[in-house]
Amino acid sequence: MLIPCLACEARFVPDDYFAACSDYNRGLDLVSWTCPHCGNRDDLRVLPGELGFGYSRGGRFDVQDRVRVPGLRRQRGELRLDISLDAASWRVRTRVRQPA
Ligand SMILES: [Zn+2]
């Protein structure tokens, strides 16, 4: 299956798509995604069987659009999110902010 970029509509195999995830935000349960094709940056929530896109406001994230990814699974860790699909898996780490 191919997963589309919502900005430019390029489509990616899961390995390329999830390798472009970074910076897991555990508080809002979001990962950042930077499109390898157009460079658009988006925040998304990995959910069982789908990806959720939407908007952060007031310290919460409202999912507005969903992209179905059958078989998608996720496991939250202390400083990471583990994503798996079929036999493949990807780890998205939390960026540790250095104290100012
Ligand atoms: Zn794109």
- Strand 60-68 and strand 41-47: the pairing is unpaired
Query: How far, in Å, is the centroid of ligand 1 from the Cα of 71?
Result: 23
Task: Report the distance separating Cα 77 and Cα 57, nearest Å.
Answer: 24
Burial of 30 per CB tally in 10 Å (0-12, 13-18, 19+)? buried
- Distance from C-alpha of 18 to C-alpha of 22, rounded to nearest angstrom: 9
The reply to whether 33 falls in a domain is yes
Rounded to the nearest angstrom, the distance between the alpha carbon of 43 and the centre of ligand 1 is 13
Write out the residue range of the structural domain in which residue 84 sits. 12-88
**CA of 19 relative to ligand 1 center, distance in Å:** 14
In a domain, 56, yes or no: yes
Provide the pLDDT confidence category of residue 2 given band limits of 50, 70 and 90: very high
pLDDT at 74: 98
Find the 100 Cα to ligand 1 centroid distance in Å.
33
Residue 100 banded pLDDT, cuts 50, 70, 90: low
Q: How many domains does the chain have?
A: 1
Q: Is the pTM of this model over 0.75?
A: yes
pLDDT in tens, 43-75: 999 999 999 999 988 889 999 999 999 999 999
Mean pLDDT over residues 73-97, rounded?
Answer: 94
Under DSSP, is residue 58 helix (H, G, I), strand (E, B) or coil?
Answer: coil
